[in-house]
Amino acid sequence: MSDQDNLRVKRSTTVYKNMRDSRLISQYYRINTAYISNKKEIYGASPTDIFIGRYGYPKVFAGPMVPPRLGDTSILASPESWRSMSISDIFNMRFSLVRGMFITDVRGKENGREIEKVRELAMSTNSVYSEVNFSKSLYTTPELGESVEPFGLSGKISSFDITNTKADNRIEDKYLDTDATAKDSVIELYDKGVAVSKITRAFSAGLFGTGANRKLVPTRWSITAVDDTISKQKVEEIKGYEEIDHIEVYYNVSLDNRWMIVVMPGQWGYESIEAWYPNTAWNENPNEVSIFSSSEGYNGRKGYAEIGGCYYAARLAVAEKLHRIRKQAKVLILREVHDGYVLPVGVWNVREHVRETLDGRPIILDNEAKIVDMISERFDITPKEWLRNSTILKSIFLQMQLSKFF
């Protein structure tokens, strides 16, 4: 059998498995939400989760996320704790959340009391008892996307009430400080140890900013804004450190994503490349692998990254690592997404699993040429394909060729 025939067999298997898993998840979703799909009222403990939509901006849908159960539900909104979970575990957990929606302008000129409740939720440290009344039947289509965590049913609400909120003093202090900019508030809370997911919710709820500049921020936008703000600050600090003097390679597999992170000598530079196999979350083409890349040099980049929010989430994890070891480096992330990643689970997957990868023990390489050997050993996609799509790899091997010439 030829290599091309082998590829066709592999792709055919990929399509079958993806369709099978997607259907199973869809069936699971319908079965496990049927008991609440006709309800007009939900009473449960919100994990302090909220969702701010982006369609129709500056008038958007906002509201709480509430599961129909009581107790400590904080795990439902804590992606920092999900690293070891399978995709089915994540969907099982997140599909229990029901999104309540009311329409409002982002500056809070309408539905002021409801917005204050949303802000109380975003500020709270504990699961909050919530009662949500819906004006219509719930929408049964789940929310899925690479940026946000999945959730289940949703519906327009006529009212909602919350009790037993307990504010995180660190977040509340920034909410009361109307002179601090949103950027300064985000960085200060991060430096005080507040989880990125909590900062993102507070940012989305419009808790930060100077005076009248405060407004609700769509959840998708707030995730990237927080990752970008923190990582930029850390990168500026990293530029003052000495360069690392050797090559480190980190490797990890999670949710059928293969991660390789190469940390190498040089001034700050960063590139992230994603290769999506056929019929994975962001590649519906049954015949081809789709490869996307974004990068920046010492002076950063202009414009939004081609690969979206994942770029900024990974850059935050990289900046954390370099800041921790007090070194400056050039960093390349290679992500190979295989068919087990049947549906997107949110950008947290990138942030947390890059963190997890960089927490592992690195392989030390003697020279740049051995990076090719590592890629050949750990990935199905050839080094030639990665090289074709990589700014950093091209610069390395061009320098190697020039050095041999001279």
How much is the pTM?
Answer: 0.90
The residue among 8 and 285 whose pLDDT is bigger is 285
The residue among 22 and 336 whose pLDDT is bigger is 336
Contacts by 312-315 with C-beta closer than 8 Å and gap 24+? 312/224, 312/227, 312/228, 312/231, 313/223, 313/224, 313/227, 313/347, 313/348, 313/350, 313/351, 313/354, 314/272, 314/350, 314/351, 314/354, 315/227, 315/228, 315/231, 315/235, 315/270, 315/272
Domain co-membership, 378 together with 268: yes
Arithmetic mean of pLDDT, 351-371: 96
Using CA atoms, how far apart are residues 199 and 186, in angstroms rounded to an integer? 7
Residue 20: how many other CB atoms lie within 10 Å:
11
User: Looking at the structure, do residues 300 and 313 belong to the same domain, yes or no?
Assistant: yes
For 45, phi and psi rounded to 5 degrees?
A: -100, 105
Work out the mean pLDDT of the chain and round it to a whole number: 88
CATH code, domain with 158: 2.40.50
Residues 257 and 392 in one domain: yes
| 99 shares its domain with 208 | no
Domain-embedded: residue 20: no
Full domain range(s) for residue 383: 247-405
Please compute the mean of the pLDDT values over residues 183-210 and round it to a whole number.
Answer: 97
- Specify whether 161 is located in the same domain as 283: no
- According to DSSP, residue 206 is labeled T
How many structural domains compose the chain? 3
Task: Quote the pLDDT of residue 199.
Answer: 98
Segment 122-129 mean pLDDT: 96
Q: Does 161 share its domain with 177?
A: no
239-256 pLDDT tens trace: 999 999 999 999 999 999
223 and 194 in a single domain? The answer is yes
Strand order in the sheet with 330-337: 290-296, 269-276, 330-337, 257-264, 247-254, 363-365
pLDDT at 95 over 60: yes
**So what's the pLDDT on residue 39?**
80
- For the CA atoms of 107, 193, 178, 238, the dihedral, rounded to the nearest 10 degrees, stands at -90
Q: Is the pLDDT of residue 174 over 50?
A: yes
Q: What is the pLDDT of residue 32?
A: 63
Q: Does pLDDT of 229 surpass 50?
A: yes
